[in-house]
């Protein structure tokens, strides 16, 4: 059976890993990644399309001139994208988040195993926790980078606005605000970092104690050596 200290430390890491797993599920499930206002030039008036969307679906509204709302509809992101590169990037983000979800699940399993037992294999201990939490954090960071790149380089909001209202002409301006579904990923990175730090402190304390027990004889008192 593991010591009380090990149980407490790995139980804390298990809690952070489970929270990370839940947060990734929230990121995938919610559709508040981006809110955009895209302006288009019209024949006799200016048109503004307001979009709120995530990785799978969203809503779009059309406003004419002084805020007169003309229509509102829901849409599927993949169906509204004609730009292959933008669609591929969205797919890549989803795949990366699913992989991070699996990494978080494995990390939760490793920390849970160490909470209730002492596995013999080295990788099932702190090394495995470091590995899977690091992988999860890296995947989340990549997703956080790819999404803004898709917005700016592939004009994702403009593409989606054209998909909602095909008669729109040339875009003249756009404003973007990232929603809570996007910023939650910062919390996930923090949780993964916290798991690594918790296990590091446990591992470092264990290593220090082991070294102290294996002190060389020259560190022993002189009277013991003479004896």
Residue 222 lies in a domain: no
- pTM across the whole model: 0.85
Residue 57 lies in a domain: yes
For the chain, 227 residues long, the average pLDDT of each consecutive 10-residue run is 78 93 95 90 77 93 70 86 90 96 94 82 82 95 95 90 81 88 96 92 67 55 48
Name residue, tokens 């296990």. Answer: 199
DSSP 8-class letter at 122: G
Q: What is the pLDDT of residue 106?
A: 94
Q: What is the pLDDT of residue 68?
A: 64
Residue 33's DSSP bridge partners are none
Residue 30 lies in a domain: yes
Residue 22 lies in a domain: yes
| Cβ-based neighbour number of residue 48 at 10 Å | 20
Q: What is the pLDDT of residue 213?
A: 59
Straight-line distance from the first to the last Cα atom of the chain, in angstroms, rounded to the nearest whole number: 39
Q: What is the pLDDT of residue 174?
A: 85
Q: How many domains does the chain have?
A: 1
Could you give the C-alpha distances from 128 to 116, 119, 162, 201, 202, in angstroms and in order?
16, 11, 47, 15, 14
Supply the CATH number for residue 148's domain: 1.20.140
- Structural domain span for residue 150: 17-204
Q: Which two tokens stand for residue 177?
A: 């605000």
Q: What is the pLDDT of residue 101?
A: 96
Residue 225 lies in a domain: no
Residue 214 lies in a domain: no
């Amino acid at each position: 059976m593991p010591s009380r200290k090990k149980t407490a430390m790995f139980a804390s890491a298990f809690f952070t890993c489970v929270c990370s797993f839940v947060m990734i599920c929230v990121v995938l499930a919610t559709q508040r990644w981006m809110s955009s206002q895209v302006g288009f030039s019209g024949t006799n008036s200016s048109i503004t399309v307001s979009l709120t969307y995530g990785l799978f679906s969203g809503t779009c509204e059309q406003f004419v001139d002084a805020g007169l709302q003309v229509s509102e509809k829901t849409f599927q992101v993949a169906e509204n994208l004609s730009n292959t590169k933008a669609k591929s990037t969205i797919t890549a983000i989803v795949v990366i988040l699913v992989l991070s979800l699996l990494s978080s699940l494995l990390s939760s399993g490793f920390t849970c195993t160490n909470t209730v037992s002492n596995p013999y294999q080295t990788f099932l201990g702190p090394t495995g926790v470091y590995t899977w939490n690091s992988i999860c954090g890296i995947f989340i960071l990549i997703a956080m980078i790819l999404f803004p790149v898709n917005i700016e380089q592939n004009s994702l909001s403009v593409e989606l606005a054209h998909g909602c209202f095909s008669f729109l002409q040339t875009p003249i301006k756009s404003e973007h605000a990232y929603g809570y579904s996007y910023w939650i990923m910062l919390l996930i990175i923090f949780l993964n970092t916290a798991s690594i730090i918790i296990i590091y402190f446990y591992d470092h304390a264990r290593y220090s104690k082991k070294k102290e027990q294996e002190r060389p004889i020259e560190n022993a008192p002189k009277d013991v050596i003479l004896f």
